[in-house]
Amino acid sequence: MQPFQLTIEAAANLLARRELSAEELTRSVLERVDAVEPRVEAYLTVDAPGALAQAREADRRLAAGDAGPLTGIPLSLKDVLCTRGLRTTCGSRILENFVPPYDATVVERLRRAGAVLVGKTNMDEFAMGSSTENSAFKPTRNPWDTRRIPGGSSGGAAAAVAADMCLGALGSDTGGSIRQPASHCGVVGLKPTYGRVSRFGLVAFASSLDQIGPLGKSVADCARILAAIAGHDPRDATSVPETVPDYQAALTGDLHGLRIGIPDFAAIGGLDPAVARSVAAAIGTLESLGARQVPVSLPHTAYAVATYYIIAPSEACSNLARYDGVRFGARAGGQTDLLEMYRATRSKGFGEEVQRRILLGTYALSAGYYDAYYRKASQVRTLIVEDFKRAFAACDVLVSPVAPTPAFPIGAKADDPLTMYLSDIFTIPANLAGIPGLAVPCGFADDGLPVGLQIQARHFNEETLLRVGHAFEQATDFHQHKPPL
């Protein structure tokens, strides 16, 4: 086995025993990036000199016995996270040359834990998309079939983990943007509870929905990354001062007495038969491990997609108003009139999907329409939250598919945004409710593409998600399969 193929857990053990150096591990990952990046196109920026310098510092810390939980581990960052001295584009032309003067809190915490940061991964522009086709620079390709999308908007992060171009990654999840690409790429992805992880230094899309979380080759790897980045941050007003549990200790494998709620996902139109079969088999596996099914009802989640596409664009149009070529963002030249400069800057700087969502949000918030759209959507969101509260009074976790289909061909839905939006039908409710969700590999379609299982729990109960996901992982081998690159 090559070093780049290791899980974080396995690599950390080798590093601790000094059987592998951080520099050797990092060089192996960088060589892997050189070998497969032209086919996958997961990265927007690779910082090889910086990564090697960090690896040498990690080796110094390891030799001195001053190692953290991620010391010497090569990770990637979605290009929506600010990195001091390293450009942060958000997949957009308007920020193509933006170099932040500070690190996001999660980046600070990874550095403190000793991680080696390989580079910044591709994404849908400003995290608006489900396929990573909306990047202003290039589409990322699924390592399992490079003719297909990797999911989005954290498609570059998921593809990089699946292709062994890093040992783990950070993504962001506003409506499924960690879990959906994790499912499509056959890796593990975790959206924490809203408020569990600081959003300081995350370039905002929809501030009441955005959350940062890990992607990894195993549940244990995601637990290790989450432990490093979770916790209160006074610089983020939405960060909650909750105690961070010992996530590694939660990986007991014991599911006896666990109550799993199964929403009626089979009633969702367009559910691929292979997805339905894989999820049904996964539920059977959980039952064989000691869990039992209980009936649950989530009646208002049928309105989740419509609700999301009022709330998220409304928040986006507010957050993106700052990119005007004066305060933030590259300015289009040649105009003598201020309004013309604004129009030219934003038309040239923003892609079609971002412009579409800004217009949707502006309309929903405009005088005469606010009550009919935004206020009504906020009321439905409250009903969805209450549905989850009632469901979790009866069960410990909810189980469903992550996405209705396996990864689709690049370009297949590019001209049909409504069909594209339905890709997140199973993941959006968790963002509206602020609850945590975990995606774990649970099978393969007939053409060999990965299928993911989604597990959701009540607020700040990530340890239960990790316990269930880890137990399922130990009873199956789906997470051990590798794409045929």
Active-site residue set = 78, 153, 177
Alpha-carbon distance of 140 to 123, in angstroms, equals 8
Alpha-carbon distance of 127 to 92, in angstroms, equals 10
Alpha-carbon distance of 470 to 167, in angstroms, equals 18
- For 373-468, list the strands marked E by DSSP: 397-401, 437-444, 450-457
- Using an 8 Å Cβ cutoff, are 405 and 275 in contact? yes
390's enclosing H/E stretch is helix 376-394
Joined tokens for residue 38: 């032209």
Q: Which of 244, 254, 296 lies closest to 400, judged by CA?
A: 296
Q: Which of 204, 188, 178, 193 lies closest to 231, judged by CA?
A: 193
Alpha-carbon distance of 452 to 183, in angstroms, equals 4
Alpha-carbon distance of 150 to 186, in angstroms, equals 10
Alpha-carbon distance of 49 to 398, in angstroms, equals 44
Alpha-carbon distance of 144 to 70, in angstroms, equals 28
In 64-173, which residue ranges form alpha helices assigned H by DSSP?
105-112, 155-162
- Using an 8 Å Cβ cutoff, are 229 and 236 in contact? no
